[in-house]
Structure 1
Amino acid sequence: MIPVFTTLARLLATESAVALVTVVGVRGSAPREAGARMIVTAGGDIAGTIGGGRLELEAIAAARAMIAAGTESFAVRRFALGPALGQCCGGHVTLGIETIAVARLGEVASLARVEASGPFETEAAVAEGAPVRRRLVGAATGDPGADLDDGVLREVFGAAGRPVWLFGAGHVGRALVLALAGLPFRVNWVDERAEMFPGAVPGNVRLVVAERPEELMPSAPEGAMVLVMTHDHAVDLAIVHAALARPGIGYVGVIGSATKRARFERRLEELGHAPERAGAFRCPIGVPGIRSKEPAVIAAAVAAELLIEDEAARAAGRRRPPPLVAAVGRRRRG
C-alpha cells in the first residue's frame, strides 16, 4: 500500500512524466486485488506492486513505452495468468496504465493533500490514448479499490486504517510500533513519560503523553483495538477497566502472565464487570506456534493477529473486530 498521489508528487519533482499502473479488474485467482497500484518512472524504478512476476514485468515495459511516447495517455491491458505469461494463477487481470506529466503537478499535489486526510473516491471518464482527468466524488469508507465499467473509472484511494491505542513505551511497545509501520493501522501511542518515546516514529503513529492514560478511553473511536503494556500493573488495570466499560471497543490486549490474567479477572469483577466480560480475554496474544520472548518476535506475532482480526471484521462488514478481549503475555503458554 503506497500513498499514491504523495508518491506521484514526489517523483514529478524530478521526472518529466511517470506512469500509474492500476489493477482495474480481476477474474479468478490473481496475485493482487482490484485497486492495487504501481508507479513506474522512465528509468524503470517502481513504487508499489501489482503482484510481481511476469505480469509486473510486462506492465513495467508497457508503462515505460508510454512514458517514452511523450504524451499523456491511458491504455487498458488484459492478461491471462497462464502458461503464455509464465504464471499459473489461472485468473485474468485487467490493468489501466496512464501517464502523468509534470505539467499536472499542481493537480497531483492537490489530490495528495486530500489523500493525507483519509480515504476518498474519484470518478473519471477514460478513453484509450487520452489523459485521465479524475473528479473528486468525496470521502470514502471502504478499502482502496478500482473498477472500470463502460469507460468510467471509479476508484478509492487511501485507507482509513484500524485505530490502535497502544499504552506503554517499553521494549515491547517500541517493537510493536515498528512492526505496525506500513500496515493498515493508525496508532495512538500513549505513555505517562515523554522521555520514553524515541526521537522518530513511523508516519502512522501519533504520540500522546497522558498523566492518567485511562482517562483517554472515552475518546477512543468505535472499532479501536487497545493494547496495554505499561510499566505499572495498577495503571494496566485502570486502562483495561476503562476499555471494557467503553462501548464499541472489541479488542483489548494486556501484557502479562497467566497469574496476572487471573488477578485481573478477579479485580475486574470487583469493579463491576460481569464474569463473562471480565474473563473474555486470551492469554497470550499473537499467532500460535511462536514461543520466543524477544520483544521483536512478540511484536511480529501480535501484528499478525491484529491483521487477522481486522480482515475478519472488514470481511464481515463490521466497523469493529469481534468482541474479543485479549492479553499480551510474555509468550507463556497454557
Structure 2
Amino acid sequence: MHNWINALADLQRQGEPCVLVTLIEEQGSTPRNAGSKMVISATQTFDTIGGGHLEYKAMQIARDMLANGKQAPDLQRFSLGASLGQCCGGVAVLLFEPMGQVQAQIAVFGAGHVARALVPLLAGLPCRIRWIDEREQEFPALIPAGVQKIVTDEPVDEIKGLPAGCYCIVMTHNHALDLELSAALLTRNDFGYFGLIGSRTKRMKFEHRLRARGISAPHLQRMRCPMGLSEVKGKLPIEIAISIAGEIIATYNAHFGQPSASVEPIKQLLPSSRRSQATN
C-alpha cells in the first residue's frame, strides 16, 4: 500500500490538491489506532484510518472539500452507530487538512545568486512560479516542477500578463531595470505582495524617483524593501532566500482569499525588515 507520507509528497510534486485525514480519537468497543492517517485526492485514496463506513464517510467529506475549494482545516466528531454501520456506539474525531491548493501565484524577476537559492524553496510551497530574466545562462540546468522559466529581452512587458493578486519579487542584476519593474508594478497596483531586494538607501532613492513619476505615497507603502523576515540574519544567498520565503508564507497565510486591493501594507503584518540585503 502506498504510504500516506509518500503519497502526500507525490501529489505535492504533481500540483494535485488533496486532503490529509487524521484519526484524532475513537471511543468504542474496538477503537482504531489514534493518529492513523490517510490521503484523499479527487480520484485516489492512500493508506487507511481503519476502513469501514467511517472511512467511507471521511472520503465523501474530503472530496466535498476539494470540490468546493475549502482551505481551512476542519475537525469533525462522529457518533458511531447504525448510521455508520457500527453495531456498538461510540465516538470518533477526525481532522481534515486540505493540502496542495495553490496559495499564491509568484513572479520572480532575476536569476542571480539569491534567486537561484529562493526559487527552489518557493517551488516546494503550494505556489505557481514564473521565473523571469534576460539571461538564459543564469538559469540552472534543472528547473523545479511548478516553475515556468521565461527568458525575455523585455522583462517589464511580462507584468501586464500577471494575474491580479500575484506575488512579485524583484531582484535583477540591474538597478535601472529594478526601477522600471517597480514603476510598472506600482502603477498597476493589484499585486498581493511586492518585494524589492536592496537596502534602505536603495528604497529611499527609488521612492524619490517613483514619486517623480507620479506614484502615490499609499502605493509606495505597499513596496517591501528591504524584504524578508528580520529574525533571519545573515548575508549568504540562502539566508536571504529563507527570510524572503518566510515572508511570502506569512503573507499568503494571512491574506489568502482576500481581494488584493484590500491587503494592508506588509509592514503592519510582519516585523521590521532587514537593514540591508545583497543584490544579485
Verify same fold: TM over 0.5: yes
Corresponding letter in the other structure for 2:43: L
Corresponding letter in the other structure for 1:111: T
The alpha-carbon deviation at position 159 of structure 1 amounts to: 1.0
Alignment match of 1:143 (pick from 41, 66, 71): 71
1:261 counterpart residue number: 203
Corresponding letter in the other structure for 1:331: Q
Listed as ranges, the matches of 1:1-150 within 5 Å are: 4=7, 7=10, 22-23=21-22, 77=32, 79=34, 111=43, 127=53, 139-143=67-71, 145=73
Give the distance between the partners of 1:324 and 1:311, measured in 2 at CA.
15
1:67 counterpart residue number: none
Gaps of 5+ in 1: 9-19, 27-74, 80-92, 101-107, 113-125
Instruction: Give yes or no for contact 1:24–1:147 (8 Å, CA) kept in 2.
Output: no
1:324 counterpart residue number: 265
Please state which structure has a larger fraction of its residues in strand.
1
The alpha-carbon deviation at position 143 of structure 1 amounts to: 2.2
Please state which structure has a larger fraction of its residues in helix.
2
Instruction: Give yes or no for contact 2:170–2:195 (8 Å, CA) kept in 1.
Output: yes
The alpha-carbon deviation at position 197 of structure 1 amounts to: 0.9
Instruction: Give yes or no for contact 2:196–2:224 (8 Å, CA) kept in 1.
Output: no
Of all paired residues, the percent bearing the same amino acid is: 31
List per-residue Cα deviations over 1:137-178 (Å, max 9, x = no partner).
674433275666767998856311311110000001101112
The alpha-carbon deviation at position 198 of structure 1 amounts to: 0.6
The alpha-carbon deviation at position 298 of structure 1 amounts to: 0.3
Instruction: Give yes or no for contact 2:185–2:191 (8 Å, CA) kept in 1.
Output: yes
Give the distance between the partners of 2:71 and 2:31, measured in 1 at CA.
23
The alpha-carbon deviation at position 295 of structure 1 amounts to: 0.4
Give the distance between the partners of 1:296 and 1:244, measured in 2 at CA.
28
1:12 counterpart residue number: none
Tell me whether 169-178 or 152-161 shows the greater mean CA deviation: 152-161
Instruction: Give yes or no for contact 1:237–1:264 (8 Å, CA) kept in 2.
Output: yes
Alignment match of 1:276 (pick from 197, 218, 221): 218
The alpha-carbon deviation at position 283 of structure 1 amounts to: 3.4
Q: Structure 1 residues 284 and 311 mapped into 2: Cα distance closer, same or farther (>3 Å)? A: same
List per-residue Cα deviations over 1:73-111 (Å, max 9, x = no partner).
xx98474xxxxxxxxxxxxx7x5659x9xxxxxxx8x83
Tell me whether 153-162 or 189-198 shows the greater mean CA deviation: 153-162
The alpha-carbon deviation at position 281 of structure 1 amounts to: 3.4
Give the secondary-structure state (helix, strand or coil) at the position aligned to 1:266: helix
The alpha-carbon deviation at position 184 of structure 1 amounts to: 2.6
Listed as ranges, the matches of 1:190-201 within 5 Å are: 190-201=132-143
Q: Structure 1 residues 140 and 220 mapped into 2: Cα distance closer, same or farther (>3 Å)? A: farther
List per-residue Cα deviations over 1:286-320 (Å, max 9, x = no partner).
11133311100000111111111111113xx5254
Give the distance between the partners of 2:179 and 2:6, measured in 1 at CA.
38
Instruction: Give yes or no for contact 1:286–1:305 (8 Å, CA) kept in 2.
Output: yes
1:36 counterpart residue number: none
Give the secondary-structure state (helix, strand or coil) at the position aligned to 1:249: coil
Give the distance between the partners of 1:282 and 1:261, measured in 2 at CA.
9
Corresponding letter in the other structure for 1:318: Q
Give the secondary-structure state (helix, strand or coil) at the position aligned to 1:111: coil
Instruction: Give yes or no for contact 1:178–1:202 (8 Å, CA) kept in 2.
Output: yes
Instruction: Give yes or no for contact 1:24–1:148 (8 Å, CA) kept in 2.
Output: no
Q: Structure 1 residues 272 and 148 mapped into 2: Cα distance closer, same or farther (>3 Å)? A: same
The alpha-carbon deviation at position 130 of structure 1 amounts to: 6.8
Q: Structure 1 residues 97 and 287 mapped into 2: Cα distance closer, same or farther (>3 Å)? A: closer
Superposed CA RMSD: 4.1
How many correspondences in the alignment?
237
Give the secondary-structure state (helix, strand or coil) at the position aligned to 2:114: helix
Give the secondary-structure state (helix, strand or coil) at the position aligned to 1:165: strand
Corresponding letter in the other structure for 1:264: F
Instruction: Give yes or no for contact 2:21–2:58 (8 Å, CA) kept in 1.
Output: no
The alignment's TM-score, normalised by the length of structure 1, stands at: 0.58
Q: Structure 1 residues 312 and 271 mapped into 2: Cα distance closer, same or farther (>3 Å)? A: same
Alignment match of 2:110 (pick from 151, 161, 168): 168
